[in-house]
């Protein structure tokens, strides 16, 4: 009898593991990593191994829009809460989108004796020399959100901007049936994400000769600038504009300008709550792909692994989601648009992994 009970208990235990195992292992993997045709490049960080806890420096390009505010909070949450056992001190600087100030910020952080530098570069080229010098001093650098021109860093935490620009443009071209006139609204001129997303979009355009770009303008990831610029473009081109390729926050403002002009055309953007809610309320054909603010927390994780001497990916891809009000042949929603709508959230809110006490709004 005792033996029978033991067998039954063991069987139940095994069955429980079999049932729960898929749940325990369920986690999102980035498609840009999954479908990459070559092996992931890893960085050997053994030479940076040292005993913790560590002093971490975070040089931020700015907190000039709500995405950057949430992103900065994710870095702080990672260092001061999630990985607080490994972090003795976190220093944070804000360059106010000025490259020369950020160079000075990095120099100040180095003077404070940081063990690792996390940086979101205002522009790729201007910050490359100071990042290179930091690495040569034996202090590892983790780029996040925005990288520098050279490969002089241990890891770049991102979600592929080229993939984002391609996905947004492909959806737009397919929504227009391969023919029509569009305008492109970029982010901050010279910044890695803005240039790469525009580049990814232009790659797709080579396969759609029937799509004409009437104008391209930088809107600095600002909803107000997006509205102002889109209003001016409508004044110039009117109903010739049949679609909007926007890579970020600016398209919530652009959509508002279109609504006021009585033009309801396909438009792309990201997971800014204002964009997602208004697209549903106003009935705009829309596509949204996020640039996850959670990469701030991931950057802290990579920085700590580096200081522990663990190998880290040279390019660390953070998983993301795609939603569309209407799917196309190649771009399809990961979930219904309505599932991402949060009418009780502020317009400035982003999907995030922050506990309630860390939320900025």
Instruction: Tell me the CA distances in angstroms from 156 to 16, 43, 151, 171, 312, one per residue in order.
Output: 39, 11, 9, 27, 10
Return the CATH fold of 42-159+293-317: Rossmann fold (3.40.50)
Bridge pairing between strands 42-43 and 312-313: antiparallel
Mean pLDDT value across the chain: 92
pLDDT confidence bin for 32, thresholds 50/70/90: confident
Q: Is the peptide bond before 138 cis (omega within 30 degrees of 0)?
A: no
Q: What are phi and psi of 196, to 5 degrees?
A: -70, -40
CATH 3.40.50.2300 in the chain, residue ranges: 42-159+293-317, 161-289+322-352
Tell me what pLDDT residue 206 has.
97
| Contacts with 169 (C-beta within 8 Å, 6 or more apart), sequence order | 200, 201, 202, 203, 204, 205, 245, 268
Q: Please give the Cα distance from 113 to 207 (Å, whole number).
A: 51
Q: Please give the Cα distance from 72 to 295 (Å, whole number).
A: 10
pTM of the model: 0.87
Q: Please give the Cα distance from 256 to 234 (Å, whole number).
A: 12
Tell me what pLDDT residue 27 has.
61
Is 16 a residue whose pLDDT tops 60? Answer: no
| Contacts with 347 (C-beta within 8 Å, 6 or more apart), sequence order | 252, 272, 273, 274, 277
pLDDT, tens digit, 9 for 90 and up, residues 157-166: 999 999 999 9
Q: Please give the Cα distance from 239 to 264 (Å, whole number).
A: 10
Mean pLDDT on 305-332: 96
Nearest to 145 by CA among 189, 193, 184, 91: 193
Q: Please give the Cα distance from 114 to 195 (Å, whole number).
A: 31
pLDDT, tens digit, 9 for 90 and up, residues 55-84: 999 999 999 999 999 999 999 999 999 999
Mapping DSSP onto H, E and C, the string for 288-316 reads EECCCCCHHHHHHHHHHHHHCCCCEECEE
Whether residue 248 contacts residue 268, with contact meaning beta carbons closer than 8 Å, is answered with: no
- Residue 308 has a CB neighbour count (10 Å cut-off) of 17
Q: What percent of the chain has pLDDT over 70?
A: 92
Q: Please give the Cα distance from 127 to 332 (Å, whole number).
A: 37
Is 184 a residue whose pLDDT tops 80? Answer: yes
Return the CATH fold of 161-289+322-352: Rossmann fold (3.40.50)
């Amino acid at each position: 009898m005792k033996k029978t009970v033991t067998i039954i208990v063991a069987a139940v235990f095994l069955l429980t593991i079999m049932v729960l195992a898929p749940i325990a292992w369920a986690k999102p993997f980035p498609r840009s990593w999954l479908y990459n045709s070559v092996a992931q490049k890893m960085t050997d960080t053994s030479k940076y191994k040292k005993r913790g806890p560590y002093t971490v420096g975070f040089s931020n390009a700015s907190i000039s829009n709500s995405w950057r505010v949430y992103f900065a909070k994710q870095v702080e949450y990672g260092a001061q809460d999630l990985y607080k056992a490994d972090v003795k001190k976190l220093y944070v600087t804000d360059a106010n989108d000025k490259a020369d100030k950020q160079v000075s910020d990095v120099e100040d952080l180095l003077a404070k004796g940081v063990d690792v530098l996390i940086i979101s570069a205002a522009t790729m080229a201007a910050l490359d020399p100071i990042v290179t010098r930091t690495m040569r001093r034996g202090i590892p650098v983790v780029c996040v959100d925005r990288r520098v021109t050279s490969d002089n860093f241990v890891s770049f935490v991102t979600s592929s901007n080229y993939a984002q620009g391609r996905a947004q443009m492909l959806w737009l071209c397919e929504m227009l049936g391969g023919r029509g006139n569009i305008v492109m609204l970029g982010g901050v001129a010279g910044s890695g994400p803005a240039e790469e997303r525009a580049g990814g979009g232009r790659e797709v355009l080579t396969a759609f000769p029937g799509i004409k770009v009437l104008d391209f303008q930088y809107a600095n990831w600002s909803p107000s600038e997006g509205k102002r610029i889109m209003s001016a473009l409508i004044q110039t081109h009117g109903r010739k504009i049949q679609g909007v390729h926007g890579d970020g926050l600016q398209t919530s403002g652009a959509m508002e300008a279109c609504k006021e002009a009585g033009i309801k055309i396909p438009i792309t953007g990201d997971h800014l709550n204002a964009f997602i809610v208004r697209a549903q309320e106003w009935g705009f054909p829309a596509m949204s792909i996020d640039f996850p603010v959670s990469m701030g927390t991931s950057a802290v994780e990579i920085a700590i692994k580096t200081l522990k001497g663990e190998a880290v990916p040279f390019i660390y891809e953070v998983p993301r989601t795609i939603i569309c009000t209407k799917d196309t042949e190649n771009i399809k929603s990961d979930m219904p648009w309505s599932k991402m709508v949060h009418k009780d959230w502020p317009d400035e809110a982003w999907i995030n992994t922050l506990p309630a006490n860390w939320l900025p709004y």
